[in-house]
C-alpha cells in the first residue's frame, strides 16, 4: 500500500496515471491546454475530470517540459503553471495527484497544496531536492536519465544499459534512505526515452523483471514516445496501439503504474490484462 497524503494506492494491482502537461511545448499534445496563448484552467480541469472518469487513479501534473531538447523554466513559471491547477484538482476530485518536478520549491509548495506523490525525472539530484522530498512526507518516484533533457538524446551510450540503470536506481535508493525517505515511500522508473536509443529501451523493457527484483514498485511511461515511431514508422497521433502493446508487456514484466496520455484506452488494456491474471488465480471463477 502506498500512502499518498491521505489517499492510498493498493499496489497489489496495477494503476493508470494520467498525464496533464501544463506546458506550451509538450511533445505529446503540442500545448493543447494553451488555446489562446495561455493556460486555460477550466480546460485543464475538465481534462482531469475526464481522466478520472476514464479510470485514472493518479494524475501527473508537470509544468516543465522534459522532451528531448527542452530548456528549463524558472521556478516561478513552473509554479504558476502547476500549483493553481493542483489546488483545484485536490479540492474537487478524489484522485492521487503526482507533481512532475525536480524543483525543491515546487515539491514543497505542491505538498502543501494537496499533492500526494513526487515524480522526479532527475531522481532528487538537484540541490535541496532530497531534503524537500524528505520533509514533504510524500512518496517519490526516482527516474533514470542519462544527461539532461536538452542533450539526453544526442548520443546515448552504455556498456550495459540494464546493469547501469539498475545500479543507478539502487544508488539513489540508498541515498534517499540515508536522507530520511524510507524505502516504502519509493518507486522506480527506468526512464524509457530519457537518454536511451531504441535498442536501449527495448533491452530495458525485456529486462524489466530484473529491475522489479529491487522490490520497489515500477512506474513506466511509453505513451506516444518516439521509440514507437522508430519501430513502426508512426507519427505522434498514430502511436496509441504501440503505446498499449508496450504497456501490456510492461505489466507482464512487473510494472505497477502505467503513465499515459490516453487514459481510457490504457485503462481498458489494464482491465483486460487484470482479468486474465485474476482468472488464472481463480478470482473470476464465478463469471459465466
Q: Is 259 a catalytic residue?
A: yes
Catalytic residue among 91, 225, 230, 234: 225
234 is catalytic: no
Contact by Cβ (8 Å): 110, 86: yes
Grid coordinates representing 199? 535498442
- Catalytic member of 185, 224, 239, 259: 259
Give the N- to C-terminal CA distance of the chain in Å, as an integer.
31
Q: Find how far residue 2's CA is from the centre of its chain.
A: 15
Catalytic residue numbers, as ranges: 225, 259
Amino acid at each position: 500500500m502506498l500512502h499518498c497524503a491521505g489517499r492510498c494506492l493498493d499496489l497489489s494491482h496495477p494503476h493508470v496515471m494520467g498525464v496533464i502537461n501544463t506546458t506550451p511545448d509538450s511533445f505529446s499534445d503540442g500545448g493543447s491546454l494553451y488555446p489562446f496563448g495561455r493556460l486555460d484552467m477550466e480546460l485543464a480541469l475538465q481534462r482531469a475530470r475526464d481522466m478520472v472518469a476514464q479510470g485514472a487513479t493518479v494524475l501527473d501534473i508537470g509544468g516543465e517540459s522534459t522532451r528531448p531538447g527542452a530548456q528549463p523554466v524558472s521556478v516561478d513559471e513552473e509554479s504558476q503553471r502547476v500549483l493553481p491547477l493542483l489546488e483545484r484538482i485536490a479540492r474537487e476530485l478524489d484522485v492521487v495527484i503526482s507533481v512532475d518536478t525536480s524543483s525543491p520549491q515546487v515539491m514543497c509548495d505542491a505538498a502543501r497544496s494537496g499533492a500526494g506523490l513526487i515524480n522526479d525525472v532527475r531522481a532528487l539530484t538537484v540541490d535541496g531536492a532530497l531534503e524537500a522530498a524528505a520533509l514533504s512526507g510524500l512518496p517519490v518516484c526516482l527516474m533514470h536519465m542519462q544527461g539532461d533533457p536538452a542533450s539526453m538524446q544526442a548520443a546515448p551510450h552504455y556498456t550495459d544499459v540494464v546493469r547501469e540503470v539498475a545500479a543507478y536506481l539502487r544508488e539513489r535508493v540508498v541515498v534517499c534512505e540515508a536522507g530520511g525517505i524510507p524505502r516504502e515511500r519509493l518507486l522506480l522508473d527506468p526512464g524509457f526515452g530519457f537518454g536511451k536509443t531504441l535498442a536501449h529501451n527495448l533491452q530495458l523493457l525485456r529486462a524489466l523483471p530484473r529491475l522489479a527484483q529491487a522490490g520497489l514498485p515500477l512506474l513506466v511511461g511509453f505513451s506516444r514516445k518516439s521509440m514507437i515511431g522508430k519501430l513502426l514508422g508512426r507519427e505522434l497521433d498514430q502511436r496509441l496501439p504501440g503505446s498499449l502493446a508496450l504497456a501490456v508487456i510492461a505489466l507482464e514484466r512487473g510494472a505497477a503504474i502505467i503513465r499515459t496520455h490516453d487514459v481510457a484506452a490504457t485503462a481498458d488494456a489494464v482491465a483486460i490484462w487484470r482479468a486474465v491474471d485474476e482468472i488464472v488465480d481463480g478470482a473470476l471463477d464465478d463469471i459465466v
